[in-house]
Structure 1
Amino acid sequence: MLRRAGLLAGCAAVLSAAPVAAQDSESVAEAEVSGNVIIVTATKRDEDLQDIPFSINAQTAEDIQRSGAVNLEDVSRLVAGLSIQNLGPGQSQVAIRGVSAGQIVRDQPGVKEQVGVYLDESVISLSLFTPDLDLFDLNRVETLRGPQGTLFGSGSIGGTIRYITNQPNLDTVEGMIEADLNLVDVDDIGYSLKGAVNVPLVEDVAAIRAVGYYTQFGGFINALTDDGIIEDVNSGERYGGRLALTVKPVETVTITPRIVYQEIISDGFNRQETFNLFANPFTTTRPPIQLGEREQFLRLREEFRDETLIADLVVDVELGGTILTSVTSYSDREILVSRDASALTGSVSVDLGFPDAGVLLPSNLQDTTDLSTFTQELRLASNNDSRFQWVFGGFYSDIERDYTQRLPTPGYDGFTDAVLGAGTAAAVANGFPADSPFNSDLDFNIEQYAVFGEASYEVTDRLTLTAGGRYYDFEEDRTIITGGLFAAGGPLQEDVTASDGFTPRFLASFDVSENVTINAQAAQGFRLGGVNDPLNTGLCDAADFAIFGGFQDFDDETLWNYELGLKSQFGAFTFNAAGFYTEIDDLQVTLDAGSCSSRISFNVPEAHTLGFEWEFAGQVAPGLDIGISGSVLEAEIDSAVLDGAGTPFPGLQPGDRLPSVPEFQVSADATYRWDVAFGEAFLNGTFQHVGDRITQPGDQFPELTLPATSGLPFAGATGLEPLNTDPALDSYELVNLSAGIDLENELSITVYLRNVFDVNPLLSFDRERGGRARTGFRVGQPRTLGVTLRKGF
């Protein structure tokens, strides 16, 4: 309690003492000329970021280029309160302000996201598979902190992230070409070529904007195999583009259809292994191996593919003092995660008493996701200078998500029948292919209806009050059938999850003086519950079945967020800060079900987050701009959860820490510019500190949740050798440097060095079958040297 009281007192002291400024409309116009105003659309209308009455960050295209960010994870290190849990290429989880339930993995498609992700007006969220969009030709990335359920729905219980692209310009021919060449970890080359062009078709009436890009990613993970070493197995490529058309047939109507396509292909994963059934120091009949930094062991090559198609249509119609907006969106994603599951299958085979030849069979786990989403939003908003401003509308979505798993392991049925009895493999197949000990078909349909509204009233010249809410109605239909030796089997099972409710939001904004604006907010958020997949009962030992066997479904998660913040801009300086407290009910937590090789989700009755975040930017000397942002966070469990045997889960008791978010995070950047012949030169440096984290709640007590030994007698190992596994994710610091010149002919040349000190950041803990088959970490990119050329016109 003392710690919490001290943190709240510190927040109040900073909020009351900060020397910052609000702006009237004339000063805003002047600031736009000098480039100090950022216009955002977080409230479904264009507003100065400093006028938004809650905590929001906007990383502009210039910010992104200056920091060297190439993906959302890079951007997150510059945004206070935003954290990304990297689980491999195209696979990440986003948390804002510590609202996090731990690692969600590929085979949990029923778990919903906690942060909504939008591409302009179109929702593109998908739990685990947060779209890894290219950042080229973006106008900005907005991070809306705290629940945004009123205007953005269920997936935004922790907040919302919005990729805002540059729109077609009706009266200017413009464009840019960018080329990049880089060297990753000294020995693997990456490169990219990107271009954007805007062409008015009929001046002031129609224009088209086209964007295309191709990127080759250099790898940095080496794979040991039985036949030698394969270097840089996690290289890959990303290519795609956007094509948008804006038509303005009359002054009051704007129509913008768009198509977005992107494909990501990776030849492997950024997994650094510490133990592998087939590569560890304890084997005697196989060569003992101590895996090192940025190394893994493979019996089969791995692959990741993510093909995304988005088609949307935005129509704006001005109706006097109001504007009618229609947003229609369709998206289709096809995702393949193909990984080497030989250690997983082999660990089960050891338990079943298979001979070494059966244990050593190569095994390939293929997870496929086929997603199609249709959404329609229709809203009406005020468009005048009245003291009373409002927006209300309706939303509909229909999501079809088909998820399949196959585990082709040639020759496995023969060993199954030889050890367990003739005909066993066929008896448990349940109609699935031979020589595949696990198979699953899991289909979802989620339908949602919602009505939302928000209104603000300027009570006085200084005080504005806002209230809003969203009524939602969800229904999820799920079918599942499994088969194979490892699966639960049985007939097709159908489950229905339904939920409806109302989430309100209240805000107040008060101009203390011309220099200080104080904001306060109370907002509720929600996340839909669901049903767990059946445990792989054939794999569970008695202890794990007793612990995890009693969890079938999980309820909706809800929270209330309370925050007090300030915003201002004073000359060349901006300072924003907020203190917040979030009270969470029925937090959905995910755990690995040990030997069962399953994951389950369940509810923690009570949890909370408490913190303070700040952002400062300004020009401290002629030509020298600096920025500093950071957050201090307490995110903890407030009530115990009991397992099937009535014992509290380690990591899920009062005072235990929530996973995946650092308690302290800070970033700083500085840019110095000076005039040279024919242009301007610059130097830039960024520093990012990310505090220690855990991947799952139990990782803070590894001695209670991870096996002390491998438990698997194989290849001369007894199974009693100590693993000494520490799943903690240590804090790390990254330093990036860049230098270049912007020439008068819109050509810029930048030389950069990312991760200057070649830090090996641990991003998430990776485990197979509770750690008995394999353990390791997802790690970040090592030192990278590169050069970028940009030419605008």
Structure 2
Amino acid sequence: MLDRSGFAFKSLALACVSVAALCASPALAADASTPAVEGTAEIVVTAQKREEKLRDIPLSISAVSGEYLEKRGIKDIVELANAVPSLSVYPVSPGQNLLSIRGISTFRGDSALVGTYLDEAPLSGGIRIGDGAGLAVQALDLARVEVLKGPQGTLFGEGSIGGVVRYITANPELSAFSGNIKGTYFATRHGAESGEVSGMLNIPIVSDVLGVRAAATYQKHGGWIDNISTGVDNYNSDELGEARIKILYKPSDKFTLTGLVNIHRLNYDGQNLLSVQPYDKSLFQQSVFPDYPTDGYNDFELYNLTASYDFGFASLMSSTSYFNLRVFNSFGWISQIIPGKGDPTVAGGGWEVLIPPNPGKQTSFSQEFRLTSNGNGPFKWVIGVNYKDTRTKYHSNNPIATYFKISDDPSVPLVTENYGGYHASIPSKAKAVFGDASYEFFDKLEIGGGLRYFTEDRSRLDVDRFGAVTGDVKGTFKKTTYRAFAKYKLTKEINLYANTATGFRSGGFNIPASIAFGAPPTYAPESARFYEAGLKSSFLNGRVTFDLAYYTGKYIGNVQSVFRFDNAGHGYGYYANAGDANIKGVEWALNVVPVRDLRLGFSGNVPRTKFTKTSPSSPLLPGDPIDFVPKYELMANAEYDFKWAPDVDGFFSINGTWKGRQQNTNRDSGVGYVINIGPKHTWIDASLGAEFNGYRISIFGKNLADELGILAPQFSGIRPQARPRQIGFSVEKSF
């Protein structure tokens, strides 16, 4: 394990355990009328910057309650993806995840395409370091998670082309003391054992006026991938601690002040990547230098202060956030690009990449003011302004070395590249003003829309390890995004809707080393325009809910990784706008409570993507699909409550997720493997447990089908894999 933490990391771990040891939450038995995975019934969300019932919002949203997350054992966004249609998550390493919603993903480019928020605080939007758009925020003491699908550029701004993931934390209860403590153990097939402890404590300091809620978790996860270069088994272990404190001050019905502090510490020994075939053997080959490091860390602190005042006709909200992210990773490996021994020095070998320790840091200050209309009248509106100042720095003091064979012919020499160490500084200042309004006619028809004007000044300064400036570029990116919608109450139980929305991501700058070989210095912004039509319905007093949505749109200026050789045979990579693609699909969710104690859910998404035009520099051709989009996603779940004994409640749940094949296309890789097809995936989770006298005891299994297929096909041969089958148990005490 990376020994950088010392007192700081151990102190956080001790704090997590201490909070857990003091605490416990009320039993989480579900109401019999609540579907297993929430549909549209009476769930209240804030996706349109106001509290509304989910079925009244004219866009596709999946809302998963904190209670459901707890019962199913979902602890992060990787596991959430198996409960939400259209959301795909690919874990690269502990704490680093690539997100995709409806075919638009964060795989390429240097900032987010899927926005992420913790309450009102943005976690994405700056330059991506360590795949920051998919940070491993823990599903710890949450009220719910909202997944908004399709462009959200008007209310959530730049970087939300695919959609938005919002973690909504539980507020302190001002009138009751409560808490819980939970311990979990599980074993991983092919891997080492793992343990977790978490807890929550809610303290009303001044009844109905001031309260505090603290939650923490400490997790030590064993690895499962073997490093055959060093002989170390299960080398990709990790250690995580996360603590959150939320303070609520409500001196009157008009004024509310909330403070949030979230601290996250994560150490890991290696990435969850495979580079040696056959992949189902869980073999990971490091570089040819056995002592080359593979460990890293992913730490952040988030501070947020949100104040709200009710003026009667409207409420004014101020949200101030400070986010501090630090990432460190290093790796060196051999990848079998061309089948063979994997030795880059011989024909039929592969390539070897040695990347020295690569620390990065990002700080971000953001401020939003928002005025939202009150009441249930026909006219609703919101106006606001947003400011964000982000500073990103990362560096490497040692050269990056790459060795590879581009041919199986022994006469073709080994290609060797050395890129000098560098220091990069990327400041960004972004401003936006936005507004959204709607009007309801005859208590049946609601029509509305919104606009957002966004501008960002971004620059990049690169210096080499000797202090000489190697690159200095600046750019300003501007965009007006919009949305429009109509909603019609066909009956009391059925809402029909249609909408159109746009999204935007700023352009960026390529690294000087690639520019020196002939890469363009910049790439242009991306945008998307989508249309959606659907229905949301609830019947039999919420015992049956059904959502259906059809979406279609155009993704413009898609950014791709491009790999080229210059005339001297030097290989170099860079980002470029590949072209435009069409995306369409059908998404649905059906939840049924056939009898009082049984809840069933069925949901899915069937997307289709195709590039309609490509640029000369693109690694794609018209007709190719967008990378990493499963051909289908199907999900089914069942929950049953029963009695073990008169005073002992029982519960059982089983959940299945099936995802179709996906493709990664790179026609100019220079090493073959032009089209890579990823396998189908099957995920099965189940749990069985009992509740009595404030205790909850359960046994569970995750990935029971032992799905070991690669999650994202890559032409490099370096590919992520999910954790194999896990069997474990948990014990929770509530008070």
Tell whether 2:480 aligns with 1:502.
yes
Matches of 1:784 and 1:313, distance apart in 2 = 39
- Give the equivalent residue in structure 1 for 2:142: 138
Match of 1:622 among 587, 590, 596: 596
- Give the equivalent residue in structure 2 for 1:564: 533
Residues 54-111 of structure 1: CA distance to partner in whole angstroms, max 9, x if unpaired?
110011123223433232021112211111233222222211111237x33xxx6xx2
Matches of 1:567 and 1:90, distance apart in 2 = 35
Query: CA separation of 1:343/1:490 partners in 2, compared to 1, >3 Å: closer, same or farther?
Result: farther
Query: Which AA in structure 2 matches 1:674?
Result: F
Shift of 1:598: 4.5
Residues 641-700 of structure 1: CA distance to partner in whole angstroms, max 9, x if unpaired?
213xxxxx45x2211010121121111111111123313211111111111123x432xx
Matches of 1:408 and 1:501, distance apart in 2 = 38
Residues 344-391 of structure 1: CA distance to partner in whole angstroms, max 9, x if unpaired?
9xxxxx9999xxxxx999955211111000000001001112111111
What's the secondary structure of 1:239's corresponding residue? strand
Query: CA separation of 1:389/1:191 partners in 2, compared to 1, >3 Å: closer, same or farther?
Result: same
Shift of 1:203: 0.5
- Give the equivalent residue in structure 2 for 1:387: 378
- Give the equivalent residue in structure 1 for 2:303: 311
Contact kept in structure 2, 1:175 and 1:197, CA below 8 Å: yes
Tell whether 2:150 aligns with 1:151.
no
Match of 2:455 among 453, 462, 473: 473
Matches of 1:315 and 1:483, distance apart in 2 = 45
- Give the equivalent residue in structure 2 for 1:235: 237
Shift of 1:187: 4.6
Shift of 1:50: 1.1
Shift of 1:219: 0.8
Residues 480-527 of structure 1: CA distance to partner in whole angstroms, max 9, x if unpaired?
12369xxxx973421111022211110111011223210110111111
Shift of 1:536: 4.4
Contact kept in structure 2, 1:71 and 1:134, CA below 8 Å: yes
Tell whether 2:53 aligns with 1:71.
no
Query: CA separation of 1:490/1:596 partners in 2, compared to 1, >3 Å: closer, same or farther?
Result: farther
Matches of 1:234 and 1:618, distance apart in 2 = 41
Match of 1:294 among 277, 282, 291: 282
- Give the equivalent residue in structure 2 for 1:737: 686
Contact kept in structure 1, 2:90 and 2:720, CA below 8 Å: no
Query: CA separation of 1:362/1:656 partners in 2, compared to 1, >3 Å: closer, same or farther?
Result: closer
Query: CA separation of 1:311/1:779 partners in 2, compared to 1, >3 Å: closer, same or farther?
Result: same
Tell whether 2:555 aligns with 1:584.
yes
Give me the CA root mean square deviation: 3.1
Tell whether 2:639 aligns with 1:671.
yes
Contact kept in structure 2, 1:274 and 1:292, CA below 8 Å: no
Residues 724-762 of structure 1: CA distance to partner in whole angstroms, max 9, x if unpaired?
79742111111112111122x231111011111222031
Matches of 1:161 and 1:444, distance apart in 2 = 25
Contact kept in structure 1, 2:227 and 2:235, CA below 8 Å: yes
Contact kept in structure 1, 2:429 and 2:456, CA below 8 Å: yes
Query: Which AA in structure 2 matches 1:657?
Result: P
- Give the equivalent residue in structure 1 for 2:653: 684
Tell whether 2:550 aligns with 1:608.
no
Residues 127-174 of structure 1: CA distance to partner in whole angstroms, max 9, x if unpaired?
322211111211111100111111111011111000111011111111
What's the secondary structure of 2:67's corresponding residue? helix
Q: More strand by proportion, 1 or 2?
A: 2
What's the secondary structure of 2:155's corresponding residue? helix
Query: Which AA in structure 2 matches 1:578?
Result: A
Matches of 1:150 and 1:47, distance apart in 2 = 18
- Give the equivalent residue in structure 2 for 1:15: none
Contact kept in structure 1, 2:485 and 2:498, CA below 8 Å: yes
Tell whether 2:138 aligns with 1:169.
no
Matches of 1:409 and 1:627, distance apart in 2 = 49
Matches of 2:642 and 2:498, distance apart in 1 = 41
Q: What is the correspondence of 1:683-762 to structure 2 with a 5 Å cutoff?
A: 683-694=652-663, 696-698=664-666, 705=669, 707-708=671-672, 727-743=676-692, 745-762=693-710
Matches of 1:296 and 1:361, distance apart in 2 = 13
Match of 1:639 among 605, 613, 618: 613
Contact kept in structure 2, 1:530 and 1:555, CA below 8 Å: yes
- Give the equivalent residue in structure 2 for 1:778: 720
Contact kept in structure 1, 2:33 and 2:596, CA below 8 Å: no
Query: CA separation of 1:342/1:296 partners in 2, compared to 1, >3 Å: closer, same or farther?
Result: closer
Contact kept in structure 2, 1:272 and 1:293, CA below 8 Å: no
Contact kept in structure 1, 2:471 and 2:512, CA below 8 Å: no
- Give the equivalent residue in structure 2 for 1:247: 249
Contact kept in structure 2, 1:89 and 1:304, CA below 8 Å: no
Matches of 2:101 and 2:345, distance apart in 1 = 44
- Give the equivalent residue in structure 2 for 1:455: 437
Tell whether 2:511 aligns with 1:533.
yes
Residues 279-323 of structure 1: CA distance to partner in whole angstroms, max 9, x if unpaired?
xxxxxxxxxxx8861111232241120110011100011111211
Q: Which runs of 5 or more structure 2 residues have no equivalent in the other structure?
A: 1-30, 337-342, 404-416
What's the secondary structure of 2:103's corresponding residue? coil
Identical-residue share of aligned pairs (%)? 27
Q: What is the correspondence of 1:437-448 to structure 2 with a 5 Å cutoff?
A: 438-448=420-430
Contact kept in structure 2, 1:99 and 1:609, CA below 8 Å: no
Query: CA separation of 1:784/1:313 partners in 2, compared to 1, >3 Å: closer, same or farther?
Result: same
What's the secondary structure of 2:512's corresponding residue? coil
Q: Which runs of 5 or more structure 1 residues have no equivalent in the other structure?
A: 1-28, 276-289, 345-349, 354-358, 413-427, 429-435, 539-544, 644-648, 709-723
Query: CA separation of 1:667/1:342 partners in 2, compared to 1, >3 Å: closer, same or farther?
Result: closer
* TM-score, structure 2 as length reference: 0.85
- Give the equivalent residue in structure 2 for 1:432: none
Tell whether 2:322 aligns with 1:330.
yes
Contact kept in structure 1, 2:258 and 2:305, CA below 8 Å: yes
Contact kept in structure 2, 1:521 and 1:564, CA below 8 Å: yes
Query: Which AA in structure 1 matches 2:610?
Result: E
Matches of 1:361 and 1:726, distance apart in 2 = 21
Contact kept in structure 2, 1:536 and 1:596, CA below 8 Å: no
- Give the equivalent residue in structure 2 for 1:84: 89
Matches of 2:460 and 2:699, distance apart in 1 = 51
Shift of 1:596: 5.6
- Give the equivalent residue in structure 2 for 1:17: none
Contact kept in structure 1, 2:334 and 2:344, CA below 8 Å: no
Shift of 1:633: 0.4
Shift of 1:269: 1.3
Corresponding pairs, count: 666
Shift of 1:620: 2.0
Query: CA separation of 1:385/1:307 partners in 2, compared to 1, >3 Å: closer, same or farther?
Result: same
- Give the equivalent residue in structure 1 for 2:498: 520
Query: CA separation of 1:639/1:186 partners in 2, compared to 1, >3 Å: closer, same or farther?
Result: closer
Query: CA separation of 1:460/1:261 partners in 2, compared to 1, >3 Å: closer, same or farther?
Result: same
Query: Which AA in structure 1 matches 2:321?
Result: S
Query: CA separation of 1:519/1:386 partners in 2, compared to 1, >3 Å: closer, same or farther?
Result: same
- Give the equivalent residue in structure 1 for 2:23: none
Matches of 2:232 and 2:395, distance apart in 1 = 29
Query: CA separation of 1:617/1:219 partners in 2, compared to 1, >3 Å: closer, same or farther?
Result: same
Contact kept in structure 2, 1:342 and 1:364, CA below 8 Å: no
Matches of 1:592 and 1:141, distance apart in 2 = 38
Query: Which AA in structure 2 matches 1:78?
Result: A
Shift of 1:460: 1.7
Residues 214-266 of structure 1: CA distance to partner in whole angstroms, max 9, x if unpaired?
0111211011125xx21110111110201111111233111111211001111
- Give the equivalent residue in structure 2 for 1:208: 212
- Give the equivalent residue in structure 2 for 1:418: none
Query: Which AA in structure 1 matches 2:682?
Result: E
Q: More helix by proportion, 1 or 2?
A: 1
What's the secondary structure of 2:276's corresponding residue? strand
Matches of 1:333 and 1:197, distance apart in 2 = 26
What's the secondary structure of 2:391's corresponding residue? strand
